[in-house]
Amino acid sequence: MNGVHDMGGMDGFGKVEAEPNEPMFHEEWESRVLAMVRAMGAAGAFNIDTSRFYRETIPPHVYLSSSYYKKWFLGLEEMLIEKGYLTREEAAAGHAMQPGKALKHGKFDLGQVERIMVRGKFARPAPAPAKFNIGDRVRAKNIHPTTHTRLPRYVRGHVGVIELNHGCHVFPDSAAMELGENPQWLYTVVFEGSDLWGADGDPTSKVSIDAFEPYLDPA
Amino acid sequence: MSEHHHDHDHDHSELSETELRVRALETILTEKGYVEPAALDAIIQAYETRIGPHNGARVVAKAWTDPAFKTALLEDGSKAIGTLGHVSRVGDHLVVVENTPERHNMVVCTLCSCYPWEMLGLPPVWYKAAPYRSRAVKDPRGVLADFDVTLPKDMEVRVWDSTAETRFLVLPMRPAGTEGWSEEQLAELVTRDSMIGTGFAKTPGAPS
């Protein structure tokens, strides 16, 4: 979706301000939100792409005015309600009013913690040979799906070069909508800064994205 | 709920409402038997103690002192790091990119907040916030100026936008004046920002 989360190339957000000696969490509730997201994801309530899509669908004015973990909370609560893990009435009351729904991987208990400290695997067997080779020129498609995609707006329609082939990975556009993993070849595609931004770009810059094969046409 | 607060200007009544909502959700998830609060505590403790930039710093210091490791690291980051028993497990999709006198690398996630947690810990607020995500791909030198980093005018600036499950770690240049240093000494010079590409490794003797 062409949401406000797709920020690459936007102006007006001001200077990057780093906080010296920044703590890992600014408030205790932030750590609880992180833990709930990780736990419910590991229990099988949702996949990582679906959770990203729910954050992207937070209304733009709320997205821009909420702290990072507030966005995580808003996305998590809405997603769990829509997936039937709790009701709006329960969220408002702050208590369960009916039994829980079965989780794909069962309750997240202490025995599950180690499992999530290793990053998930996203590579999958290839259903077909790769269409592109390293060095090929490709054009990012001019697509504007209203659902989840990982093709940022700022590269759409532009020509780049295939630099790395990462193998076949879970396709976020399908996984986010719970349409299956639909594995696709994943490439690093590099663009010249001056192609992306014209005369307003930095001629010494190059920008790469990791692009799934369905995002690309030969150029 | 007020929707007009800002990251750096928390309104206390609004904040406590968020806190109440977060607690309510945890209560419901617990009552429904989805999660065990002690398991949530353990997740937080694991993040607080096991991941962090010290993991990445060990990898960088080893690459600076061991040419065969460096070659393997640039060839397949996940595999090379997997051979070091002492750093956290990075999964399959870590790509290490090398800074050279000709090219400076910088990592961003314009769409959300993708970051190599196992190597660098949880990302700082600025990495996840709009100013960095919006400008890094269009005006990388301007962003670097916000970090007081200036690159030679002709140097290539390469920005890696983390748009998939691949993760990127910058291998910064080894500072001059560190000949003969041990891995442990060198690791002390490797900053988090130098591995994101918004800074350099520390120079011996310079104020930190």
Report the residue of B2, B126, B159 to disrupt the A interface, i.e. the one with the largest count of A CBs within 10 Å: B159
A216 near B CB under 8 A: no
How far is B70 from B157, CA to CA, in rounded Å? 21
Query: Quick count: other Cβ atoms within 10 Å of Cβ B69?
Result: 17
B113 given a catalytic annotation: yes
**Residues B181, B183, B188, B193, CA torsion sign:** positive
Which chain B residues are closer than 8 Å to A86 by Cβ?
25, 28-29, 32
What are B64-111's pLDDT values in tens digits?
Answer: 999 999 999 999 999 999 998 766 667 789 999 999 999 999 999 999
At B126, is the secondary structure helix, strand, or coil?
helix
Our CA angle for A50, A100, A118, nearest 5°, is: 45
CA neighbor of B6 nearest in space, from A168, A173, A202, A64: A64
Cβ neighbourhood burial of B65 (10 Å; 0-12, 13-18, 19+): middle
* pLDDT the model gives residue B12: 53
* pLDDT the model gives residue B86: 62
Question: What is the complex's ipTM, to 2 decimals?
Answer: 0.97
Q: Which positions ≥6 away from B9 have C-beta within 8 Å?
A: none
How far is B26 from A80, CA to CA, in rounded Å? 12
Active-site residue, selected from the candidate residues B13, B16, B112, B182: B112
* pLDDT the model gives residue B13: 54
Q: Which positions ≥6 away from B170 have C-beta within 8 Å?
A: B96, B97, B98, B99, B105, B106, B107, B194, B195, B196, B197
Cα pseudo-dihedral B71, B72, B78, B83, rounded to 10:
-130
Average pLDDT over residues A152-161: 98
How far is B201 from B188, CA to CA, in rounded Å? 9
Instruction: State the smallest CA–CA distance between residue A160 and chain B in angstroms.
Output: 14
What are B31-56's pLDDT values in tens digits?
Answer: 999 999 999 999 999 999 988 999 99
Tokens 């007009």 belong to residue: B4
Average pLDDT over residues A101-130: 93
Question: Are A22 and B125 a contacting pair at CB < 8 A?
Answer: yes
Q: How confident is the model at residue B1 (pLDDT cuts 50, 70, 90)?
A: very low
Instruction: State the smallest CA–CA distance between residue A119 and chain B in angstroms.
Output: 5
Residue B100, CA distances (Å) to A134, B59, B171, B174 in order: 22, 17, 9, 10
Please give, one letter per residue, the 3-state secondary structure of chain A.
Answer: CCCCCCCCCCCCCCCCCCCCCCCCCCCHHHHHHHHHHHHHHHCCCCCHHHHHHHHHCCCHHHHHHCCHHHHHHHHHHHHHHHCCCCCHHHHHHCCCCCCCCCCCCCCECHHHHHHHCCCCCCECCCCCCCCCCCCCEEEECCCCCCCCCCCCHHHCCCEEEEEEEEEEECCHHHHCCCCCCCCEEEEEEEEEHHHHHHHHCCCCEEEEEEEEHHHEEEC
Report the residue of B43, B135, B196 to disrupt the A interface, i.e. the one with the largest count of A CBs within 10 Å: B43
B120 near A CB under 8 A: no
* pLDDT the model gives residue B113: 97
Average pLDDT over residues B179-200: 97
Residues 19-48 of A with CB under 8 A from B: 19, 22, 24, 26-29, 31-36, 38-40, 43, 45, 48
Residues 57-116 of B with CB under 8 A from A: 88-93, 95, 108, 110-113
Residues 82-141 of A with CB under 8 A from B: 85-86, 90-91, 93-96, 99-101, 103, 107-110, 112-113, 116-123
Question: Are B166 and A166 a contacting pair at CB < 8 A?
Answer: yes
* pLDDT the model gives residue A217: 98
Question: Are B111 and A7 a contacting pair at CB < 8 A?
Answer: yes
Query: Quick count: other Cβ atoms within 10 Å of Cβ B123?
Result: 19
Residue of B nearest to A37 (CA): B40
CB pairs under 8 A between A and B: 276
Report the residue of A119, A173, A187 to disrupt the B interface, i.e. the one with the largest count of B CBs within 10 Å: A119
CA neighbor of A110 nearest in space, from B85, B142, B37, B156: B37
Q: Are B180 and B126 in contact (CB under 8 A)?
A: no
* pTM score of the predicted model: 0.94
Average pLDDT over residues B141-168: 97
Q: How confident is the model at residue B16 (pLDDT cuts 50, 70, 90)?
A: confident
Question: Is 50 exceeded by the pLDDT of residue B3?
Answer: no
* pLDDT the model gives residue B207: 60
Q: Which positions ≥6 away from A214 have C-beta within 8 Å?
A: A141, A171, A173, A184
Q: Which of B15, B34, B126 has its CB closest to that of A18?
A: B126
B109 given a catalytic annotation: yes
Our CA angle for A204, A210, A214, nearest 5°, is: 125
Average pLDDT over residues A34-38: 98
Q: How confident is the model at residue A45 (pLDDT cuts 50, 70, 90)?
A: very high
Question: Is 80 exceeded by the pLDDT of residue B206?
Answer: no
How far is A174 from A184, CA to CA, in rounded Å? 10
B122 near A CB under 8 A: yes
Question: Is 80 exceeded by the pLDDT of residue B208?
Answer: no
Strands A159-169 and A184-192, by their bridges, are: antiparallel
